[in-house]
Amino acid sequence: MTINDINNQNLLKAAGFVGGEWVQADDGGTLTVDNPATGGIIARVPAMGEAEARRAIMAAESAWPSWRAKTVKERAAVLMAWHQLLLENEEDLARLMTLEQGKPLVESRGEVRYGASFAQWFAEEARRDGGDIVPAPRTNTQIRVTREAAGVAAMITPWNFPIAMLTRKAAPALAAGCTAVIKPASQTPLCAIAVTALAQQAGVPAGVINLVLGSGTVIGSELCANPAVRVLSFTGSTEVGRILAAQCAPTIKKLALELGGNAPFIVFDDADVPRAVQQAMLSKFRNAGQTCVCANRIYVQNGVYDEFMALFKERIMALKVGNGMDDGVTIGPLIDGAAANKAAQHVDDCVQKGAKVLCGGNALGGNFYAPTLLSDVCDDVLPCCEETFAPVAPVFRFTDENEVIKRANDTIYGLSAYLCTRDLGRAMRVSEALEAGIIGVNEGIISSEEAPFGGIKQSGMGREGGTYGMEEYTEIKYTLLGF
């Protein structure tokens, strides 16, 4: 399967999109897009810079007044058309995603549907956001509270969910009446181009969506420094999130930061063990372990440890590693060689500190790493302080509830946390005690368009999805009416 197998060639632009025009880099520079499964070059896209980013911001600024002035119903209709086109192009988008990102085709199809769902959800949400009338402190006055579009919103997205992370930002922004300048990850620009082409086809007016391709460092500094940008929404690593927060400080932008995680996954003695294993598989191995909400540290209580490990090992050994385009493959390549090296480094560190390798534990050549199960891992290992972002499952033993809560919370991250138990009291108690923005109780897949997604501590600020996701793109206005 190559890029020539994409049916809708309209999705393949090899260009950025500024002010309604498909454009190249000013200096003609390009960046290559690789297939992580084969190492082959798939495409070349423009490597744009600060000047192009500035023009995109200007285009978004000029388009804002007329987009904001449309009725919510008109904006929602455009988003609904976008939603429909995303679904109609599911197979092509999924193929593009597997080609440039590596995840198994079945997962790519799922991401296209998940990504499309945000366009539908926010089209619906926008129409219900009518504001509030608050009881006033004096007679003959009224307090009116409304939400208004914040303005030009800049969006920087990662490679691990190249469509969903883009639509989860752009859909609420457009629904709210903002205009967007999007900078996708350099490793996965093709999905962003395709999704933008479909937005254009759906009737998004010129300048309302702009796409700038190229180095995050170069384009990011313009997006952060430019005073016309009122919102910066970023999904990516905590390390880059810190840089962006500092760069946005001089112009006091509204910031939404969806950053890294280091999720604990806790299995208590009273859990339904087969279900816990099934949910751990989903949480740990989806996208080859490259999700921000991945179980990074799995804690299993002594009483069910052996039973859990036996079943978990059986399921891990049944995973099929290979090119995500091939039938039956459940684990694709990692995004690049550095990611495969990081997996090896984490495994080596655990083993040196006493962990046993129950399966995997080796590189498979190229960007592939074997799904790995490690038992009896101690707390002083790399997966306890860094995201592993690979198909590596380190499992820790624990004895009691208070102890495991303390260990689970012993991290700078606070994105997601999971627990498996059949005791309702424990489920409530532990959910409250865990320091994370998202909790899965007996559930390993927690993302949906209906739910607010986001973290606490150094996993970020703000929420995406749900009824809360549009707040990042609106400002509250209070009007006191005297009569």
CA dist 7 and 5 (Å) reads 6
Q: How far is the CB of 13 from ligand NAP (least distance, A)?
A: 18
Binding mask 389-428 for ligand NAP (x = CB under 6 A): --------------------------x-------------
Q: Are 153 and 179 in contact (CB under 8 A)?
A: yes
Kindly state whether residue 156 participates in binding ligand NAP, applying the rule CB under 6 A.
Answer: yes
DSSP, residue by residue, 79-143: HHHHHHHHHHTHHHHHHHHHHHH---HHHHHHHHHHHHHHHHHHHHHHTT---EEE--SSTTEEE
CA dihedral defined by 90, 95, 97, 101, rounded to 10 degrees? 160
Catalytic residue list: 258
Pick the piece of the chain touching ligand NAP (CB under 6 A) from 3-11, 110-118, 239-247, 248-256.
239-247
Number of residues that bind ligand NAP (CB under 6 A): 31
Q: 177 or 465, CB closer to ligand NAP?
A: 465
Q: What is the Rg, in whole angstroms, of the alpha carbon atoms belonging to the chain?
A: 23
Q: Does 216 bind ligand NAP (CB under 6 A)?
A: yes
Q: Applying CB under 6 A, which part among 75-83, 142-150, 238-246, 427-435 lies near ligand NAP?
A: 238-246
- Residue of the chain from 101, 108, 117, 160 that contacts ligand NAP (CB under 6 A): 160
Q: Chain centroid to CA 309: how far? A: 29
State the pairing for strand pair 460-461/356-359.
unpaired
Give the separation between CA 436 and CA 90, rounded to whole angstroms: 33
Under the binding rule (CB under 6 A), the answer on residue 172 touching ligand NAP is no
Q: Which stretch binds ligand NAP (CB under 6 A): 9-17, 84-92, 154-162, 363-371?
A: 154-162
Question: 387 or 401: whose CB is closer to ligand NAP?
Answer: 387
Stretch near ligand NAP under the rule CB under 6 A, chosen from 5-13, 257-265, 353-361, 366-374 = 257-265
Under a CB-based contact definition with an 8 Å cutoff, are residues 107 and 285 in contact? no
- Candidates 204, 196, 37; CA nearest to 108 is 37
The yes or no reply on residue 261 touching ligand NAP (CB under 6 A) is yes
Q: Which of 292, 329, 373, 395 binds ligand NAP (CB under 6 A)?
A: 292
Report whether 187 contacts 336 (CB < 8 A). yes
Which of 8, 24, 146, 237 binds ligand NAP (CB under 6 A)? It is: 237
The helix/strand/coil state of 162 is coil
* Residues 380 and 371 sit within 8 Å (Cβ to Cβ): no
Q: Is 382 in the site for ligand NAP (CB under 6 A)?
A: no
User: Closest separation between CB of residue 108 and ligand NAP, Å?
Assistant: 15
Determine the straight-line distance between the first and last CA of the chain, rounded to whole angstroms.
Answer: 69
Question: Should residue 186 be labelled a site residue for ligand NAP when binding is judged by CB under 6 A?
Answer: yes
Applying CB under 6 A, does 371 fall inside the site for ligand NAP? no
Summarize as ranges the residues that interact with ligand NAP (CB under 6 A): 156-161, 165, 183-187, 215-217, 220, 235-237, 240, 243-244, 258-261, 292, 387, 415, 455, 460
